[in-house]
Every structure is written in structure tokens, then in C-alpha cells.
Chain A
């Protein structure tokens, strides 16, 4: 057991942190979804998404990077770029479809390719302008849908669907961990600064205990995602735990941000609405728990 990053991983995460801090200094616009071309450029030029295939870095560093970058209140595709596309040798940005290829998926309208991880194989279709349309949604991600999935040129990839599905589970769990951590940080700051009844809100035990319980959940989700990236714990279990944490944590964080957190001026929604979308992917926590149980206790 070793819970510390190695020197290479630490160097990568230090560099990622610089990117995060640079962009955190920006004031988000009062909109639901905001993508920054400069952030995309920094990530592309820095070669960060090569970590997965780099010796000494690998999936754990890639997952740690997703956690760190998901803390930004700006929208960029992280999970597939860090963990799945490098495994499959696909370009950025690839959009990962759900069970129904026609259903809306994150980043689909902007993606270079669509990936479908299905029971009988992993399939990829390159996308041209006009293959996907934007879908209006509540989520803090740009959502899109394929216009005619059956008309695309689907190619079967040489990859194990279970391995890919596990990488995708880790990617989602890591992104949830990052979103919830950032949202938590922002609320902790708020309740430390905001004074009511002559003292900081965060000094009230009613507030402290619920935030502490959320912190315990988020810490568990974070370490679970990293351990699953290393292959030490089942990815379905890590994702189930992450998806299950979203509802209570997001609810409490909004509660303590009060009306301020209901405005688009405050970035809280950027994290919680991303987490809430991720909460429902791959059949949500119930499905992950079922899968994990069948794996753990195979008859």
C-alpha cells in the first residue's frame, strides 16, 4: 500500500495544478455552460492526455488529473480524453454513448468521434459536421444527440468491452470526485465567510456535521476512484459509491450556499449539475451496485 504519488505523477499533478489555478482565477460568466478555448489549448499543448500511456504515470495519474481538472468551473471533456481515448487510440474529443446510441450524450455535438461500449464489442464512428445536433438540457455539459446513428460508419475496435467499460466507470467516478470536491471547497469558503447571528454560519454545529458527513463521502469517492484506476478495487463499486454520493452531497451543498447558490452568478451549479448528470450515467448507482455484487459473489 502506498497512497503517495510517485515523482513523475507528482510532477504531472503539479503542472495540472498550475493550469487549474490559472483558470480558477477567471470569473465565470453567469451562464449554465461555459467552455474556454484557452483551457482546451493549455490541455492539448501540455500533452496532459498522454499520461495514460506514459510509463511512470498510467491510469492512476490520469484519474488523479481528471479529479484535479474537474474542479474547474469551466466545461471541457476530461474523462474520455484522459482514460478511454488514449487506450483506444482515438482523437480528442470522443463522446461516449449510453446503451441507446440515439440518446443524448455529453459533448456529442462537438466530438470528433462517437464511441459505443456494448456487450458484444466496442464501436467507433468518426463524426462530421451535421452528424450530431445540440440538445438543450439542464446539465452543465454541452449535450448532443446523433441525428441518424444507423447511417454512420461504425468500426469495431480491437478492445475488450469490459476493460473499456471499467475505464469509463473510473473516468466518471473521478470526475464526480473532482466536481464534488470543488463544490465542497466553495461552500466551505462561503460558510466560513458568511456571518449570521453574529458568527460564521460554518461555526454552527448543524452546518458542520452535514458538511463533515459530505466530506467523508467525497474523500471515500476520491480514493475509491484512484484505487479503481489502479485495478485494486472493482470499478463498478467505485462508480456506484460516487453516483450514490451525488444526491446527498449536492443537496447539502446547495442548502448551505442558500439563495446565492441558486443564481447563475455563483459557479456552484457548474459542479453540482455536472455531478448530477454523471450520477445517472451507465444506469446509475443501483446498476453499478448490482454488477459489483454479482462480481464479488459469483455463484
Chain B
């Protein structure tokens, strides 16, 4: 057991920090305040991600044939910690490198790999994830968007909601039903967002711009080879993809940065000598570091090539708790600056903490999975 970084890993972290210091503009924090899916951050990411790619820091964990360097998952994760803590200058492109790319690599056709992986590796691809629907949020397998096979094509009809980044995305990782009810009837399609019949409508939200949309599919025709994997195979693929998504975002690293910033403010105001403030800061720090260890446990398993386990759900639950602890600390001791416009990163943290247990699979779904797959409790009878 060894909980320290190798020299190579420490040097990599340092390289990322140097690149950030060089490449982020002086008004970056204000720019990042708009959110990863905002027009501002998306435009920035399309300049920034190619620089990362050039430095070998965008997809180092991908195999050489797809533009990576075959580096261990830890490389990707260290980079992700630094970038997320900095306000995510990759914008929505973090999704590509966290799980969409690997999913296409693992389950996609040669043509799909040829078409979609190079733009991701070059830092030029914006994707959205067409999962949730008005009647299928946590109960994803209830989704109704239909894809009907007609000769060499599928015709897609239905709607998605709460779709992040859809406004500026070039491609959608879309779930639609080709068969009967339940999981077996679901397929994954890779759908260019400029296909006729797709309408996107932004929904104003509490959590930044460009994060929440409705997407309507009206007789959207895609070629049969837009299908990822075989018909009816989607569910295990989704499970694999979500296991990468669950701990993909290093939220605790952002929480740590914001907590550090708040403590510095309190120190400058002479308020950090208060034992109550110290105890609460230590409590939030403990939640962050516990979450970090549980996430590292998952990355360690991934680095060993082990299949995903419910440890990812355990880790994600701890990450949500850490976000809430840091948010509570801000609300208790620095409510005006934590939620004010002078510290845009802190304000972003406040907003994201609200969404921490909602986005990417509700906290309650994580708890279901911890109960059933980690504790092995009997499954609840389903209606």
C-alpha cells in the first residue's frame, strides 16, 4: 500500500499547473463563472484543448493509435484534478476524454472511431449526452424516444431534457428505443446535432449557462451505422460509460481549492483564530480528503484493469457530501463573498454544490447501488 505520488506523477501535475499559469487569461475566473457549457467557455475550450493536445495533456490515457500515449489512468486523473480545480478550461470537452471517447473506442465500429476520435484527441469536439427525458430521469430505462429502422436508416422521434451542453454540441451520444419496454429495447446512436429535425432550446437555470436544455427529435433520419454496438446491447455499454462518468469529475479538487480560498479570506480578516471556524474548516477538509481517497481507490482499480464496481458509487456519494460540507462552510462564515460576484470560482462552487447530487445520476440512485451492489442487500421489489 502506498498513498504517495511517483516523481513522474508529481512532475506531470507541475507541468499542468505551469501550462495553466501560462495559458489562462487574467480574467479567467470571471470567464469560467459562465459554466463549462457557456458560449464563452466553449469558445475558450476550442483554443485551449488543442494546446493541451499539443502538450500531450488532453488524452494521454488513450492508446497511441488514437492520439494518446498509452499512459496509465492516473495521468488522465491528475490532469483532470488540476483542470477541474481551475474552473475546467476544457469546457464541455472534459466529457469526451472522461468517458465518451473510451466508450467509442471500446464499443464503436472502425468507421465511428475514425470519424469521432481524432477531433476529440485534437480538442475540437463538443458532445452532449442525450439520456434524460421528461418521463425518464432517474428511471433511465423508461425512456421513450424511438428510433425506427427503415431500410438502411433509423428515424428518431422524441425529446430529451436537462441535456448539458446541447446548445453548442456537434454530436449527441443519444439513447433511443428500437425495441420493446425496458433495458433491452434501448440503443445508443451517435447523432450529428446539425441533422435536420433536431431542435435545441436552452432552459434558464441556477447552475450557469449552457448547462440545461431541451432537445427535440422530429423525424430525424440517421444512417444505420450511427448505431453504437448492436441493437439491444446498450445497457451494459451505458453501465460501463457511467462507471467512468461517476468519478470522472474531480469535484473534491475544486472544493479543496475553494475551501483554501475561503480560509485565506478568513485569515486575512483575522477570523480564522476562532476555534469554531477552525473545527468547521477541518471538518470540511476531512470530507474532501475522505472523498479523494475513495475516488483514488476507484482509479487504482481502473489502473489495474479491474472491472468497475460499486466502489464508484461509494466514492461519488462521498464526493457529494464533501461539496455540501464546503458549501455549508461558505454559507456559515462568508455568505456574501461565497455567493457574491467578487469570487467567481466560489460562486460557481455554490451553484455546483446545489447540483452535486442531482447531475450524472441522482444521489439516491447512487445509494440504491451502494445498498444493492456494495452491501449486497436484497433488491427492492419493483412496481
Q: Out of A212, A288, A297, which one reaches B263, CB within 8 Å?
A: A297
Q: Does B2 contact A (CB under 8 A)?
A: yes
CB neighbours of A250 from chain B (8 A): none
User: Shortest Cβ distance from A188 into chain B, in angstroms?
Assistant: 5
Task: Tell which of A202, A240, A285 has the most Cβ of chain B within 10 Å.
Answer: A202
| Those of B111-157 within 8 Å (CB) of chain A | none
Instruction: State whether B291 touches A60 (Cβ < 8 A).
Output: no
Distance, CA A207 to CA B318, complexed state (A): 19
Judge whether B278 and A208 touch: CB under 8 Å.
Answer: no
A224 to B285, CA, bound (A): 12
B285-A296 in contact (CB<8A): yes
- C-alpha gap A202/B283 in the complex (Å): 31
B289 touches A199 (CB 8 A): no
A224–B289 contact, CB under 8 A? yes
On whether the beta carbons of B374 and A215 are closer than 8 Å, the reply is yes
| B273 to A, closest residue via Cβ | A299
Please give, as numbers and ranges, the residues of chain A lying within 8 Å of B285 by CB-CB distance. Answer: 237, 289, 292-293, 296
**Interface size range on B against A:** 35 or more
Whether the pair A215, B375 counts as a contact (CB closer than 8 A) is yes
Interface segment out of the listed A1-9, A90-98, A135-143: A1-9
Cross-chain contact B281 with A297 (CB below 8 angstroms): yes
Chain A residues near B260 (CB-CB < 8 A): 297
Which has the most chain B C-beta neighbours within 10 Å: A202, A230, A293? A293
Which residues in A have their C-beta under 8 angstroms from that of B263?
293, 297
Tell whether A211 is near chain B: CB-to-CB under 8 Å: yes
Chain A 31-42: CB-based contact to B (< 8 A → 1; otherwise 0): 000000000000
Q: A60-B1, A188-B375, A233-B3 are in contact. Are A204 and B380 (CB under 8 A)?
A: yes
A233 CA to B286 CA in the complex, in Å?
A: 10
Task: Say yes or no: is A220 at the interface (Cβ < 8 Å to chain B).
Answer: yes
B241: CB under 8 A from chain A? Answer: no
- In the bound complex, what is the Cα–Cα distance between A3 and B368 (angstroms)? 25
Indicate if B307 sits at the interface (CB-CB under 8 A). Answer: no
- Knowing A203-B381, A208-B380, A299-B272 touch, does A289 contact B282 (C-beta < 8 A)? yes
Q: Which residues of B contact A2 (CB under 8 A)?
A: 1-3, 300
Pick the contact of A203: B289, B297, B317, B377 (CB < 8 A).
B377
Name the residue on B nearest A209 (C-beta). Answer: B367
State A205–B300 Cα separation when bound (angstroms).
30
Query: From A288, which residue of chain B is reached at the shortest CB distance?
Result: B282
Is A4 touching B1 in the complex (CB atoms < 8 A)?
yes
B74 within 8 A of A: yes
| Beta-carbon contact of B290 and A6 below 8 Å | no
Q: Is A200 an interface residue (CB 8 A)?
A: yes
Q: Is the CB of A219 within 8 A of B314?
A: yes
Cβ-based interface call for B69 (8 A): no
Query: When chains A and B are docked, how far (Å) is the Cα of A286 from the Cα of B279?
Result: 5
* Chain A residue contacts of B279, Cβ below 8 A: 286-287, 289-290, 293
**Could you give, for residues 347-383 of chain B, a 1 whenever the CB lies within 8 Å of some chain A CB and a 0 otherwise?**
0000000000000000010111011101111111100
Contact of A216 among B278, B314, B364, B378 (CB under 8 A): B314
CB closest chain-A residue, reference B311: A219
The answer, yes or no, to whether A191 is at the interface (CB within 8 Å) is yes
When distances are taken between beta carbons in the complex, the residues of chain A under 8 Å from B294 are 216, 219-220, 223
Known: A1-B2, A1-B300, A237-B285. A216 touches B317 (CB 8 A): yes
Cβ-defined partner of B286 (8 Å) among A3, A199, A213, A240 = A240
What mask results when residues 1 to 28 of chain B are scored 1 for a CB within 8 Å of chain A, else 0? 1111100000000000000000000000
- Asked whether A3 and B291 contact (CB < 8 A) given A205-B368, A213-B317, the answer is no
Q: Is the CB of A289 within 8 A of B293?
A: no
Which residues of chain A are within 8 angstroms of B370 by Cβ–Cβ distance? 212, 215-216
- Quick check: is A128 within 8 A (CB to CB) of the other chain? no
Contact with A along B263-298 (1 / 0, CB 8 A): 110010000100100111111011101110110110
Given known pairs A2-B300, A3-B297, A226-B1, the reply for A212 and B374 (CB within 8 Å) is yes
Task: Kindly state the separation between the CA atoms of A188 and B311 in the bound complex, as whole angstroms.
Answer: 17
Q: How far is the CA of A290 from the CA of B314 in the complex (A)?
A: 27
- Give the CA-CA distance A236 to B289 in the complex, in Å: 12
A166 part of interface (Cβ distance < 8 Å): no
Residue of A nearest to B6 (CB): A1
Distance, CA A244 to CA B263, complexed state (A): 22
Residues on the A chain within 8 Å of B278, using CB? 289-290, 293-294
Q: A1-B3, A6-B1 are in contact. List 16 more A-B contacts (CB 8 A).
A: A192-B377, A211-B377, A212-B368, A213-B367, A215-B314, A215-B375, A216-B294, A219-B314, A226-B3, A233-B293, A237-B289, A285-B283, A290-B275, A293-B278, A297-B267, A297-B281
- List 11 interface pairs A-B (beta carbons < 8 Å), by A numbering: A3-B301, A203-B378, A204-B380, A211-B371, A215-B314, A216-B294, A220-B290, A226-B1, A230-B4, A290-B282, A294-B278
Query: Which 7 A-B pairs rank lowest in CB-CB distance, beginning with the nearest?
Result: A289-B282, A232-B3, A220-B290, A208-B371, A293-B282, A212-B370, A202-B377
